[in-house]
Each structure stands twice: as structure tokens, then as C-alpha cells.
Amino acid sequence: MDGATNELRLVLSTPPPNWQPPLGTAPNNPIAILHASLEHVRDNGDERYLFLRTILEVLHSRGFLNDSASSAAPLSGEEEQLLFHCVTGLRHVILFRWDSFHSSLRTCVRDFLLNVGLGLSFIDSGVGPSGVVCLPRTVAMACLSGAASLWKRGWVAGNDSDGVQESEEQSYVEKMTRNAIPHMQRIGKGEDLFVYLNSLLLAPFEEAMQQHQQQQLIYQKRYIGTMSASFLSLLVGEFTGGNSSARYNLPVEFHRSCHRVFENGNHGDQSGLDATLHLSMTALSSLVGYVLNNTSSNTLQDQSLMEFGTCIINVTFDVLSWEFGAGSNKWDFSSGANVSAKDSGRGGVLLRPPQKWREVLIRPDFLGAVFHVYTAVRIGVAGGNSLDSTVMQKRGRMSHQLRQLLLQLASIAQGPIFTDQNERGAYAGFLLDGCLNVLETVLTEQQQHQDQLTADSMIWECRSTEIVDLVTMLSRITSNFRTKLLSQLATFQRFLSALCAIGKWLLESSVTECHQAGGDFGSMEGADWKNDAIAQILQCSEAMAGDYWLAGGSDSQEAKAACESLAVSLAPLYGVHCACRVRMASLEEHYLVREHAELDEAREEISATALEEEMAAAASLGRFNILASMKALSEMFHECMPRLKTLFGSAGVGGELNAEMAALLEEARMLIVCACHLLTDECEGETPAIPESVIHACQAGGSPHHEACTASIFGFINVLKSIAEDQALKATVHPEDPRLSPLLAKTLLWFFNRWGAAYIFPSFEEYRDDFGGILATWSKPESSQPMISFFTTLCLIYFCHWPQEKEVVLESTSLLLALGKKGPSVRDLLVADASFEKIVALHSVCAYLRHNVCQSEISAAMARIGGGLSMDMVKGYQRLPYNDRAKVLTGLIVCCSDMTNEKGTTMLNSCLQSIETPFFTVMQALVKKEARSQNIDVQESACLSILLYSGVVLASEMSDPERIPYFLSPSMPHLSGLMIYYAEDLTICESLLKLFRDYAERYLPMLTRDQCIILFSASTSLLKSYSEHHCKSRAIVKTSNSVEDFEEEQSYNDVLCAIQLLIQLGTKDFIDLCNTSKGVDSNQITDVIFFGLQQILPLMTQGLLRFPKLCTHYFTLVGFMVETYPKNLCSLPLELFDSLLDSLLFGMSHSDSLVSKSSLHGLAGLAQEHLKTHSLSNHLSAKPNIIENCTRRLLLEVIFQPIIWDRVEPAGMALLPLAAIDVHKFVEVINAVSQQYGQKQKRLHCAFEELIKPDILANVSKEGREGRVVRVQFKNDFDAFVRNVQAFLVMR
């Protein structure tokens, strides 16, 4: 043993043979050399046993293997690092060369590492309060981790068999190791291990024989017990695979087998998991009893007890986190998320332990005792200052682990572990009582010791994590046990009151801290944890509000009583939340303007999104009591309105926006956001509807205060209307004044957009109750007309006076579109409105007016159209960006689309004619060469016309949308003809491609045969001109900067549009419509699509395919083409076919499952086509290895990789025809591939023999039922094949 340490140091300081330093590392870097040499020694099996010998030598020299306590000495930093690497290296060598070592040596090393890690090798060293030396924790934990790995390696029967006869050298090393610890505990089987660990865990709770011996013995036993509990956690982690750092160089099937045996036992033996649970719960019970029986301050200040207790709790936590089933998430890639073990839901996590754990876990008395221990251990404010900082830290850690354990216990809400609902209720009641007791204690301490609490940072840190954990526990209980069960508990009212109280305190203290920080959110130390706690409270509210037992309108007395409790006890928190969040936003805005600070765009977007989500969640609170919530918002608005109107009134006096003004505007904006979320829901993609809770609160049968509630909403809308009116009128006079805040205008429009779409002329078929209350308030023309008129006037003002405020214009156009989609009643009111009529007239006047036209042209257009427009209005509207003009046109078309309304039809025709006539004029001038295409005015007119036509196309939600194709069809050839003049202008090309793509996508189902032919002809001309100028000579460069990926992908948006247009042209509906006796032959359409694909293929390099949208749409097109026209693809020129095949092979291993499946379908389609028609014969004569290369890459890059599990079926359907094309060459590929897997070659051959059956290969190309039966059989066989080979090929 002598000299092993120096020998190892010499080896580790010498570079290994043929070693090259990593790029950017100096050749003589000692750290790089050390790691390279260490890896070299490990990989070569440490033939001289340097790792083990060095461990023995260093531990012996420092006294950690002696019986004498006086000889123990601390390790130096270098020795600690060396020991750590030696222990991990020894573990690696034994695990990777398991069969090279005799079982007795493996067992000896395993027991040695366990004894050293537990501290048994220096048990008489007197580990105690005086700081007597023990092993550094990094070394001790490395020893325990190595022991746990070796235990797992030999756990399953047969894994610990002797691979070799014990050599003389191994016998010597084993003898040397055993002699190092003469009293070393030797453990045979797993049952013996748990018995032994149980004795170590319970020993600290036994009474000592002599009082003078008690302290030292107790500390020694607690240290050993602490390390024993740590070992158990490591052991469980090895079997789950969740926190293991070891590599076993064994297939997944080994880990599955270990997982299964540890969970279920072997041949009737007790499972390791059950034994671990028994140990941990027994130790936890002893700990609880000990703490409750020894509540003196000295006991609770004992650091060793705190460490010991924390480790016991950790073991229990790890066992409860076990994922049941032989294929856990870690070891079974086919299962995805293993829902049998954990079901994740919004705000809750469900654990479903087996019924056999019932007697251990479902013990309400034990739950109560755990809460009592937590109350004793937690750091109270009153006694916190008297604690040593180390003691406080360790008590804080133990308290945190207790809370995490209780969170786990709160997740046991369903499953066979409960016999009935009464038992579930009792269990939930004990959890809720304990949590509320602690939470009320926290609130009491806060009230009594507020100054002391804020002064001590460590106590404050403990308190912050405690509050977050407690409200998270309440949120989990709410989500898992549901409102119906909780409302039957005696503590339900107390639960709601506590939620409200803690929420108020968190919000009010946040405002106080924000005041103290002067609105600087960055300097608020408690903001993050308070926001987390508030988010959990809001999750509680959402879970109860979304509970179908309440939201479903149950008429039971229990549900009504629960609703009443929520309205009285929890809903008041909404007003506090709104007031505090509004105040904090105002303070922050004041700070930003005062300090001239600007938020980072990304941070600002994240903050805005988070705030929107919080406000939406907070709305669930307010809807428990709509009347009280509306009253709270109205009071805040009435307090804000006079100041806001005064601010608007000062517009035009000059000066910049100061901090006070900005704070006031932000206050008003936040109040509007709160109101919007309270009264409306996000209904994107759905029919807008009034929230059920609002309807219920305003109906005669739903609430005794229904009239007051309806009146409050009506009055509130009038208040907002008044604010918007004042602001808009001032904007007509002083549009540049910052006091008028376009952001506030945008927020008001956003509110009216969501509110108007739901409340004005509500769709009664969406509601199940009678149609009174709020449903009737704006359901008639006489009550809705004033609001419609107000909205259109608002839009008119903003179009004309704030045309460059993009967000305001966008919300205005969205409001118009939302109203137009409401139905004929609203559209009739719109058409009859004077302001709307002016917007139509403005569009007609400005449809072809460029931004740079002179006033005489504007006057001529005004004279021609009329409409009572002023020059200022027209000039303002004319300044609208062309994209925004197109969006306004979309809204106008939808609003005027009722065929039964003559005025609306006239307006619609005027809108359409105003863009058609100027466009034809421009085209005629270009054709007759009366205008030069390069003239900037002509070019701008062309861009304007394309964008306006795009606005027409986007109006597909209009009534009777088939009128759009009748209007557009005559213009399609001329639009395509623009490419003759502007083919080199990529901006115009992209706009035209978008126009054609959107037209095909939206209107294809309603096109007539003639319209399809026109679209086909125009698209053909468009694509040919585009490809001629932008595909053949275009260079694709992919940078490596991920930050620029989005911007770079946008620069290839034209390619994306071309691909999407080709996809639309290839749809069956389009081909069927065109393919008539007097139409277009389907082959012509196919030729065009293939022409486009041929032009795009050279562009689709792997660099370009890394862009997600481009990649997805490209493979969608290719997959469709291969499935529909495989013969045409097989006949592509060899160079293009190679490009296509390379892209398919690249895509089949793509991380996006849709891309990979499309690629595999494409590969299968090509193989099937060749199998039927030999269509690849020409290509194979030039490149004979095409099929073999595809097969090899499919096997190595997909089937034998962990990524296979989300693409099993398409991979099998690709392999089947590839194998059937030439069985002999397929066998050659299998033989070549198998050689890469060494000893597993035979198993791989056997797996392929079971998979590839001659009768299946012979019938692959058959159609009808026989072919389907063959494919189904192969699919099942391939699924079993993948599970089999993955189990022994994937190494862990």
C-alpha cells in the first residue's frame, strides 16, 4: 500500500499517451492534464488498484481507519479532492468491469465504502460538539454514493454472480481492505442491509446507560444516523435514476429490472421500497416523539438533531416521490409522462401510492404530530434573535423539509389508499387544520413583532419561504380535494378568512415596500417571494371558481352556501388586490419617468404578460361577489376621474409629461385592465360571451342584488365612455400632447373590443338561462345604437388624428372587425351610423392616394367621392400606413357585408371599386408603357394596391364570403402580371405570394371551376417569375447566432409563402375542381407543383431547415407530394432527387415529431413506389447504395436512438419497404450495423429474425385487405422489436 498516493499523483500530473489539450486550453494546464489522466486511468481499469490503495493510504495516514480517536487529523484540501476522485474512479472501474472482479472483492469494497461513509471506520473518534474531526461531507457522500451504486448493481438475482476466479492479486487487495477496518460491518443481502440501517436510525433515540456518557454517544449515533439516512436517499435515487451520478455501462433493461424488483420485491421477499418506507416512517415517528417529549430550548438548538431530522425527512420525501410502474419516466422512454405515478394539474400534483401503504400514510394522528413538531422547530420571531446563526440555518432547513414533506402528503388525494370520501375528508381536514394553525401563527407574529421581523434578514428569509410553502400547500389542497369536499369541513370558513388575511397582508406590505423603494421594483427585496405567494392564493381562487360543482350552476343548498361563504370571506381580497397593484404600477411609472429610466424590451414584455395573467387570475376572486367588486372599482375610478379630466383639460398648454402625470395615466390604465378582466373573458377563436358569474349576479333568480349589480356595470361603462370621449375630443385639437396618452387610448379600445363583442346584442343561444338582467341591457337597437355610434366615432377620430399610433389604430380596426362579426343587427346599426359612413368615404377617397401626393390630388379625390369630409380628416387618414389601411378595409367589408341591406351593399361596392379602378389604371399604364415601373410613385402605387387587395382577401369572415372570389378573379391575372415588372423586388414578390397564399387558403372550398382555373393560371405565372429571379441564384447563409434566428427567418418569409401556396395548390379539392373536361388537367397542376418544388429544393439546405416554420411547412409539402405523387418524385433529376433525399434523411431525426413523421412518411412513400414500379432504377444505376444508405441511417439515427418513441409507427412503415426491396442487401446492412455493438450482435440478429418474416415481406406491396393485415402485423412486431432492442442497446 505504501507509495500508492505518490504514484497516483505522478500519474495524474503526466499527460496520457497521444493526449491533445482541448481547444483554447494551454498544453501544460494542470487541471486539464489531471482530468485527462484521471479519465485514462478509469478507462483502462486501474490495473494497479491505485484508486483503492490511495483511499486506504490517505485514510490510514490521517487516522480515519484507526481505533484511536487521538490520531484523527483533518484532511487538506488537496487530499479531499484526491479522495473524492479516487472514490468516484473506483466506483466507475468496478461498475464498468464488474465481471472482472470476484464477488467477494466487490462485496468487500461495497461494505468498506459504506462503513467509511457512515463514519463507522472512526466511530470512536468522538464526533461531537467540540468539533472533533470527521471526514469532509464531499468524501463521505462520495463513499455512500459508491456503495449505493454497487448495491444496485448486485441487487437483482444473478447480477452478483462471479465472473472470474479470484486472482492472487485480488485476494491480496481484498485482505488489505478488510484489515483496514477490523470491525467492518459485513452485510449479505438486501434484507440484512435494511435491518442494519434500521438499528442505526433508531439508535440515537435510545436512552444511554450513563448520564456522563450520554452526550458523546448521542452525537456519535446521530452522526451515523444522519449518514445512514443520507445513504438511504442515495439508494432510492439510484433505483429511480432521478439523482444518480453513476454510469453503469448497462442497457436500459437492467435499470428497468432493478426498478421493478426494488419496487415489488423478488420471489415473495419484501420490496426494497417498502422496507425503505418502513424505515423512514419509523425513524420519522421516533423523531416526532423525541421532539415532542423534549421541547426544551437546548433540544431545539442541537445542531446534530436538526441535521439528523432533516435527513430522515428527506428519505421519506424521496420514497413518497417514487414513480410506480416497472417503466418509470427515467427508464421507459415509450411511456412519455408516467401518469400512473403523478398526475399534474393546474396548481396541484396528485400522488397515488399503493393500498399497502395505507396503514403507514393515512394516519391523521401522525399528521397532527408532524404539524406539532413543525410548530416546535420553526423559527419564531420572538425567540429568533437568541439563536446562533448556524442553529437558525439548520432549523430553517429542517423546517423547510418538513413543509416539503407535508406538501407531498397533501398530494395524496385520490386512489385506492382511501376507502371512502369520509376518510378523504378527514385526511384533508387534518392537513387544512395544521396548515391554518401555522399560518395564523405567522400572521399573529407579524402583527406583534413587525419591527423586529423586518430588522432581521435571516428570520425574514425563513419567514418568506415559510409563507410561500404554506400558501402552496393550501393551493394544492384546494386543487386536489376540490371545493365540494372542503366546503363540508368545519374549517372551510376559517380557510377562506386565512387566505384573505394573508393575501391582504402580502399586498399591503408590497405597497409599503414599493413606497419605501420610491417605485424602483429592482430594489424591492421581498417582491419576488410575495408575488409567488400571491400567485398561489390566486390559484386557490381559480381552482374554486373553476370547480364545476360551483361554476356549473348547481342548485344544491351546499353549493349555494359555499358560494355565499366565498362571496363574504374571500371576495373582499379582490378590491385590495386591485388597489395595491394599481398603486404599485403608478409608483413604478412615477419612478421610471422621474429617473428617465427605460425598461428592457424583453423584460417589459415578460412583466406585461405576467401582469395580464395575474389580473385574469384575480378576476376569479372578484367574480365571487360582482357587486362588491364593481363597487370597489367604481370608487377607485371616481377618485381618479377628476384628476384625469383635469389632466386632459390641460392639453395644449405645453411642457413635457412629468412623473406625476405619468403615474396618474398608469393608474387609470391599470384600473381599466382590472375592469376588463373582471367583466370579460379572453375569447380568441371562440364566440364572445358574458361570463356566467356576471350573468348570474345580474339575474333576478341569481342574486338578491341583481338590479344594483346591473346598474353598477351600466354606470361603469358610462364612466369609461366619458373618459374615452374626453380624451378623443382633446386628441382632435392637440394630437401631439403626451398628456393624452395613446397607451391609455389603446387600453380603452381594448376594453371596448372585448366588452362590446360580448355584451352588445349577446348571442342568446350561448346562454341557458332566461334573457333578463345584463343580457337585456344592450340587446335592442335603441340601447345599442349609442354605443355603436360612440365606437365608430372613436375609431374615426383615431384614424384621422393619430394615424401613426400603430397600437391605437390596430385596436380601432380590431374593434370595427369585432362589431362587424356580431351579426346582422349590429351591422345594420353600423351602416346607419354617420361616423361609419365617413370612414367608408375616407377609404374610398384615400384608396389610391400615396403618402406623397399633393393637395390638388387630394382635393380632386374628395370632389369625386364627396361624403362631407374635411381636408384635415382626409390628410390624417391618408397618413395611415398602407398595412393599416388594408386592415381598416377588412373591417369595413365585414361590416358592410349584409346583402339584405342596400346601403351596406352600396358601401361595400364603393370600397371594392375604389381599389379596383386605380389598380387597373396602374396596370394599363405599365402595359402601354405610359409609366415606368421603376418610377417610385408607380412602385408605391403597386405596393398600395397589393396590400389593399390583401385586405379584401382577409375579409373571409364576412356574410356571404363567396362574393370575394367573384370580385378578385378578374384581378388575379393582373396581380400576377405585376411580377413581370417587379420580379426583382423581393418586397413586392413576398406581398404577392402572401396575397395568393391567403386567397387559396381561405377561399378554396368556395371557388367555382372557372375561379380555380384563373387561380391556377395566375399562380403558375407568379411562381415561375418568382423562381426565375429568387431561387436559382439565391445564396442561403445560416448564422450561428440564435438571437438573430427570428429576424433571419423573416428574411426567408417569401420561401415560406411559396411553399404554403404550393401546398394549397396541391389539395385534392383544388385539383378535382380544375380537372374537368374544359378545365385544367391534373397533370398540369402536378407539373406546376413539381416545378415549384424543384426550384425550392436547392434552397432547403440543413441551415435553412433549422428554422422551425420553414422546416415544418417544407416537410408538410414534401410529405404530401410523396404520398400523392411518388412516381413523379422518383423521376426527378438525380441532383434534385439527392437534395430531396438528404432533406428527408435530415428530417427523420428532427426534434420536432411532426417534421420527423413527415420525413419518414416521405421515405416510406419513395421506397414503396420503387417496390411497386422500380421507379428508382435509373438513380440506382448511378448510385447503387441509395437504399442501403437510407436503411443504415434509419437504423442508426432513429430506430436505435432514444428519440424513436414519438415516431415508432412511421419509422416501422419506412423500414418495411426498404427491407422488402432487396432482402439480401438488407441483411448485409444488418450485419454491418450489428458489428458496431460487439457482444450484443447476437441478440440484435435474433431480434431482426423475429421482426423480418418472409411472408410479410412478400406481401408488402399488395393492396386491399391483405396488404393492410400485413402492415398491421408488422406494426405490432416492430413495436415489440423497438422495445426489445432499446432495452439492451441504450446504455446508462
pLDDT 10s digits, 916-968: 999 999 999 888 888 888 899 899 999 999 999 999 999 999 999 999 999 99
Please determine, for residue 667, whether its predicted confidence score (pLDDT) is greater than 90: yes
Helix (H, G, I), strand (E, B) or coil at 348: strand
Nearest to 972 by CA among 937, 946, 943: 946
Question: Quick check: 1013 and 1079 in contact, CB under 8 A?
Answer: yes
Nearest to 7 by CA among 41, 43, 45, 44: 41
Question: Quick check: 811 and 749 in contact, CB under 8 A?
Answer: yes
pLDDT band at 1044 (very low <50, low <70, confident <90, very high): very low
Helix (H, G, I), strand (E, B) or coil at 595: coil
Q: What is the mean pLDDT of residues 1077-1097?
A: 67
Amino acid at 1115: F
Give the integer Cα–Cα distance in Å for 277 and 284.
10
Residue 272, CB half-sphere, CA atoms under 13 Å: how many? 26
Please determine, for residue 381, whether its predicted confidence score (pLDDT) is greater than 70: no
Please determine, for residue 1043, whether its predicted confidence score (pLDDT) is greater than 70: no
Please determine, for residue 455, whether its predicted confidence score (pLDDT) is greater than 70: no
Question: Quick check: 217 and 1252 in contact, CB under 8 A?
Answer: no
Give the integer Cα–Cα distance in Å for 774 and 697.
9
Give the integer Cα–Cα distance in Å for 609 and 603.
10
pLDDT band at 991 (very low <50, low <70, confident <90, very high): very high
Of 16-20, 84-88, 733-737, 844-848, the least confident: 16-20
| Other CB atoms within 10 Å distance of the CB of residue 1189 | 14
Helix (H, G, I), strand (E, B) or coil at 342: strand
Q: Which residue has better confidence, 129 or 962?
A: 962
Question: Quick check: 26 and 15 in contact, CB under 8 A?
Answer: no
pLDDT on residue 176: 87
Question: Quick check: 978 and 971 in contact, CB under 8 A?
Answer: no
Burial state string for 430-469 with b = 16 or more CB within 10 A and e = fewer than 16:
bbbbbbbbbbeebbebbeebeeebbebeebbbbbbebbbb
Give the integer Cα–Cα distance in Å for 16 and 40.
7
* Sign of CA pseudo-dihedral 684, 686, 690, 693: negative
Question: Quick check: 949 and 912 in contact, CB under 8 A?
Answer: no
Give the integer Cα–Cα distance in Å for 674 and 676.
6
Q: In this prediction, what percent of the chain has a pLDDT beyond 70?
A: 88
Burial classification of residue 210, based on how many CB atoms lie within 10 Å of its CB (0-12 exposed, 13-18 middle, 19 or more buried): exposed
| Residue carrying C-alpha cell 395568393 | 996
Of 151-155, 262-266, 716-720, 1184-1188, the least confident: 262-266
Residue 1100, CB half-sphere, CA atoms under 13 Å: how many? 33
pLDDT band at 346 (very low <50, low <70, confident <90, very high): very low
Burial state string for 962-987 with b = 16 or more CB within 10 A and e = fewer than 16:
ebbbebbbebbebbbbbbebbbebbe
Please determine, for residue 130, whether its predicted confidence score (pLDDT) is greater than 80: no
Please determine, for residue 212, whether its predicted confidence score (pLDDT) is greater than 50: no
Question: Quick check: 969 and 1033 in contact, CB under 8 A?
Answer: no
Please determine, for residue 669, whether its predicted confidence score (pLDDT) is greater than 60: yes
Burial state string for 250-288 with b = 16 or more CB within 10 A and e = fewer than 16:
bbbbbbbbbbbbbbebbeeeebbbbbbbbbbbebbbbbb
Q: What is the mean pLDDT of residues 184-210?
A: 81
| Residue carrying C-alpha cell 432581521 | 456
Give the integer Cα–Cα distance in Å for 491 and 468.
21
Question: Which runs of consecutive H residues, i.e. helices, occur in 449-526?
Answer: 450-455, 457-486, 492-516
95, 760, 868, 1103, 1202 from 248: Cα distances, Å:
5, 67, 85, 37, 17
pLDDT band at 337 (very low <50, low <70, confident <90, very high): very low
Give the integer Cα–Cα distance in Å for 415 and 1119.
44
For 575-695, list the strands marked E by DSSP.
none
Of 130-144, 1071-1085, 1231-1245, the least confident: 1071-1085
Give the integer Cα–Cα distance in Å for 620 and 638.
23
Q: What is the mean pLDDT of residues 867-875?
A: 87
Radius of gyration of the chain (CA): 38
pLDDT on residue 531: 92
| Total residue length of the chain | 1292
pLDDT band at 361 (very low <50, low <70, confident <90, very high): confident
Of 96-110, 136-150, 374-388, 653-667, the least confident: 374-388
pLDDT on residue 553: 57
Question: Quick check: 474 and 536 in contact, CB under 8 A?
Answer: yes
Of 45-54, 140-149, 1003-1012, the least confident: 1003-1012
Q: What is the mean pLDDT of residues 770-791?
A: 88
Please determine, for residue 142, whether its predicted confidence score (pLDDT) is greater than 60: yes
Give the integer Cα–Cα distance in Å for 1030 and 951.
26
Q: In this prediction, what percent of the chain has a pLDDT beyond 90?
A: 39
Residues 6+ apart with CB under 8 A from 826: 760, 761, 784, 788, 819, 820
Q: What is the mean pLDDT of residues 1092-1112?
A: 75
Give the integer Cα–Cα distance in Å for 389 and 386.
9
In eight-state DSSP terms, residue 1197 is: I
> pTM for the whole thing?
0.86
For 527-618, list the strands marked E by DSSP.
none
What integer best gives the mean pLDDT of the chain?
A: 85
Helix (H, G, I), strand (E, B) or coil at 344: strand
Please determine, for residue 449, whether its predicted confidence score (pLDDT) is greater than 80: no
Please determine, for residue 1089, whether its predicted confidence score (pLDDT) is greater than 90: no
pLDDT on residue 1076: 60
Nearest to 377 by CA among 349, 350, 352, 406: 406
Question: Which runs of consecutive H residues, i.e. helices, occur in 265-388?
Answer: 272-293, 297-300, 303-320, 358-361, 364-377, 381-384
The predicted-structure confidence for 273-322, as pLDDT tens digits, reads as follows 999 999 999 999 888 888 888 777 677 778 888 899 999 999 999 998 88
| Residue carrying C-alpha cell 419506412 | 1214
In the chain the first and final C-alpha atoms are separated, in Å, by 33
Helix (H, G, I), strand (E, B) or coil at 345: strand
| Residue carrying C-alpha cell 381580497 | 573
pLDDT on residue 1261: 77
Nearest to 312 by CA among 225, 199, 252, 372: 225
Please determine, for residue 1241, whether its predicted confidence score (pLDDT) is greater than 70: yes
pLDDT on residue 902: 92
pLDDT on residue 345: 39
Question: Quick check: 569 and 561 in contact, CB under 8 A?
Answer: no
Helix (H, G, I), strand (E, B) or coil at 848: coil
pLDDT on residue 54: 92
Q: What is the mean pLDDT of residues 1154-1161?
A: 89
Cell numbers of 796, please? 374615426
Give the integer Cα–Cα distance in Å for 173 and 171.
5
Please determine, for residue 327, whether its predicted confidence score (pLDDT) is greater than 80: no
1291 - beta bridge partners? Answer: 251
| Residue carrying C-alpha cell 387630394 | 858
Of 332-346, 711-725, 1161-1175, 1198-1212, the least confident: 332-346
Nearest to 819 by CA among 800, 792, 786: 792
pLDDT on residue 795: 96
Helix (H, G, I), strand (E, B) or coil at 959: coil
pLDDT on residue 348: 52
Helix (H, G, I), strand (E, B) or coil at 585: helix
Give the integer Cα–Cα distance in Å for 1223 and 679.
68
8, 42, 283 from 17: Cα distances, Å:
16, 14, 52
